[in-house]
Amino acid sequence: MNDQAPLLALKDVNTYYGQIHILQGISMEIKAGELVCLLGGNASGKSTTLKTILGIVTPRSGTVEFQGMDVTSKSTTFRIGHGMAIVPENRRLFAPMTVLENLEMGAYLREDDFSEDLNDVYELFPLLAERKHQLAGTLSGGEQQMVAMGRALMSKPKLLLMDEPSMGLAPVLVEQSFEIIQRVHRAGVSILMVEQNANMALSIADHGYVLATGRIVLAGEAAALAADEGLKKAYLGR
């Protein structure tokens, strides 16, 4: 492993669904310790980018490098075992399983004792400790979001991928979830976050990328992107 290499690098990635060319030559980098946000309109390929990084879909060409390793042809299991984790779009909790079981699934690949990390998650989300035996499908949207975050943290990730973590939350909960994300980030986890709330996302991010129809159309420091009027009009619709 190479200390100079970024934590994650995509190089000219092209991903297809069947014949449809979704990601059209994506290149991006995340350095260790960074919080990077990925913006873009609906169907621009944000979720597909995360799935490509995680190995749920395999690119037809280009490479995905993680910690200096070419993982393009490695399984999702391998990548998660080496430090990736995801809060998926729509959370995707295991509804008929308890909160605790959902958290355990997040730690699926760990062979060591994870009780300490479980306590950390309960400390971050005290409510989950009370609800640990409740079925995940019966939780409110905000509570489910906490489980999704907690579940991803159970693997002690180096790189946390988040796909619209604030989707469907009331404004006050959106603020809370951003605070949690910052706490996790400060604790040393590198983060790649897809967000609809562009302004909020850029306000906590180091860097940002903007996708439109499968291409990166803008990239740079978060502060610079936030000030870019053209960006707001053209790609974020606000």
Ligand X SMILES: Nc1ncnc2c1ncn2[C@@H]1O[C@H](COP(=O)(O)OP(=O)(O)OP(=O)(O)O)[C@@H](O)[C@H]1O
CA-nearest of 199, 219, 217, 198 to 208 is 219
Nearer to other proteins, 38 or 200 (CB): 38
Binding footprint of ligand X on the chain (CB under 6 A): 17, 22, 40, 42-48, 89
Q: How many residues bind to other proteins according to rule CB under 8 A?
A: 27
By CB under 8 A, the residues from 81 to 110 that bind other proteins are 81, 86, 88, 90-97, 101, 104-106, 108-109
Identify what 101 binds: ligand X, Mg ion, other proteins, none; CB under 5 to 8 Å per kind: other proteins
Least separation in angstroms between CB 8 and Mg ion: 18
By CB under 5 A, the residues from 25 to 64 that bind Mg ion are 47
Least separation in angstroms between CB 11 and other proteins: 23
- The answer to the question of residue 173 lying near other proteins (CB under 8 A) is no
Region class of 148: left (phi > 0), else alpha (psi between -120 and 50), else beta: alpha
Identify what 40 binds: other proteins, ligand X, Mg ion, none; CB under 5 to 8 Å per kind: ligand X
The residues of the shown chain that bind other proteins, judged by CB under 8 A, are 54, 56, 75-77, 80-81, 86, 88, 90-97, 101, 104-106, 108-109, 137, 144, 151, 155
